[in-house]
A and B are shown apart, each in its own frame.
Chain A
Amino acid sequence: MSDVTAQDTKRKRSLVGRDPWTTPLDEIDLAHPGIWQANEFLPFLSRLRQDDPVHYCADSPLGPYWSVMKYKDIMTMEAAPHIFSSEPTIGIVDVIPEFTLPMFIAMDPPKHEEQRKTVQGVVAPANLKNLEGLIRQRVTTILDALPKDETFNWVELVSRDLTTQMLATLFDFPFEDRHKLTYWSDVATAIPGAGLIDSYEEGFEILKECLAYFSRLWQERASKPPGNDLISMLAHGEATRNMPPREFLGNLILLIVGGNDTTRNSISGGVLALNENPQEYQKLRDNPALIPSMVSEIIRWQTPLAYMRRTAKVDIELGGKNIRAGDKILMWYASANRDTDAIENPDDFIIDRPRARQHLSFGFGIHRCMGNRLAEMQLRVLWEEISKRFDKVEVVGEPVRIYSSFVKGYTDLPVMIRSSAIKSAAG
């Protein structure tokens, strides 16, 4: 295909600038990253929820796929892993076996539970209680070093740095090398040609360095008594200690990605949401006790992963449509979290929303986000410390969104902390 044709196709496929309510249904390809980066996705989600809640996109460069838009239909799928399989992958791109790493997010019962059980203890609430002090310390260091009265990128100085430090802690990863973790995470989710890597081959070569690094840590931890970090848990766990290298790398990537850009983008998204909803920001200033429910609302509002993919194991009817065995199905969490049939006034950002944890950002069922309590704790501690110091973190420029329909987030969020917004009692 010549470049001109490729560009033509790209232009035709992108929904940017098109009217969501008059675009023919068969031309809606939600998985195209255009509307996500341009922040034009919400009306297209509404359109499908209303007009075609189980939507078939027959013509997509990534192959035909179904989009499931309603909260209740997604709940049906999440509760039926024997029908809606997580194998062979949970992303829309069909796997190239050569470049595919086995990981438990993309496994069905019972292997999924066996492997997940080995590592989930590290993020269980009892363990998190011990981690909170360290997280608070790191948050404090980051916040106290922020520039005053000048524009800076919140994503870079806060969201990215904090989540990277957290990951290093969970893996007991050499602190001075911690930026490698973020880099590998970005490589693992990068779309070839979008900036970071040019091909899947290149990405795979980079991830081999990741494997080599972690293999060294594995050897070191395996020769010591069991510790409380993720690598030690994997090295000593019954279901994981004999894992083949590819499976080890796959599960590492899963834990790195899972704990990285999701939380990073919720940290950024919260600042943006509060700036776009000044009355809610005022509520927070008046009553910092709302932080726990605000954190859940931020995670719903941001929905850091827009969808998860399942593959039908049998012919099955869903929402009146006949899905065939082998069909690819995307469960659009980003849509379900705005579904008026499940959530009251879903387009409003309400920091004291009742039952704020009833959202789909973490998914439900056996694949529900393992790190959900850790994510909430990081955000809670961050906002507690921000509230002690600053009356306002002010967004002073347009955010730049990621070119992806899967990872919903930001590369840039220009903010300023004015001297006048600094609380006098802050340390």
Chain B
Amino acid sequence: MTRITYIEHDGTEHSIDASNGDSVMEAAIKNLVPGIDADCGGACSCGTCHVFVDDAWLQAVGEPGEFEEPMLDINPERSANSRLSCQIDINDDLDGLVVRLPEFQF
């Protein structure tokens, strides 16, 4: 099990034990963490699972992928630490990961 913490826009924290192999989006949906819509079901095609990766974790999480980049690019709330959580696969290296959720998914 890998510990992931989601922090809502209002500061509410949700720490969950996620299964390796799930995406950060899937782990949120399975554990009823609010604030992630994932309308496309994890196909990197809607941008509604947008998260901000805590700076300390940026390197471990890595850069957006080739198809993720344009989806992030069209989000007006995009910042340097933006990722789509459906594109972050959970593994042991991410134990303790902290992501923040935007006020709105777009």
Contact = CB atoms under 8 A, between A and B. Distances in A.
Partners in one complex: yes
B76 A368 contact: no
Given A79-B67, A116-B74, A124-B76, A368 B41 contact: no
Nearest to B29: A355
A117 B45 contact: no
B40 A120 contact: no
Residues of B contacting A: mostly? loop
Interface of A: 75, 78-79, 81, 109-110, 113, 116-117, 120-121, 124-126, 357-358, 364-366, 368, 370, 373
B18 to A, nearest CB: 20
A37 to B, nearest CB: 31
Size category of the B interface is 20 to 34
Residues of A contacting B: mostly? helix
A117 B72 CA distance: 11
Contacts of A120: 74, 76, 106
A366 B44 CA distance: 10
Contacts, number: 55
Contact of A364 (B40, B70, B76, B104): B40
A126 B70 contact: no
Given A124-B76, A124-B77, A373 B39 contact: no
A357 B39 CA distance: 6
Given A124-B106, A125-B106, A126-B103, A75 B74 contact: no
Given A79-B67, A124-B104, A358 B39 contact: yes
Nearest to B37: A357
Interface string B14-42: 00000000000000000000000101110
A79 B44 contact: yes
A126 B77 contact: yes
B74 A79 contact: no
Given A117-B76, A121-B76, A357-B37, A368 B47 contact: yes
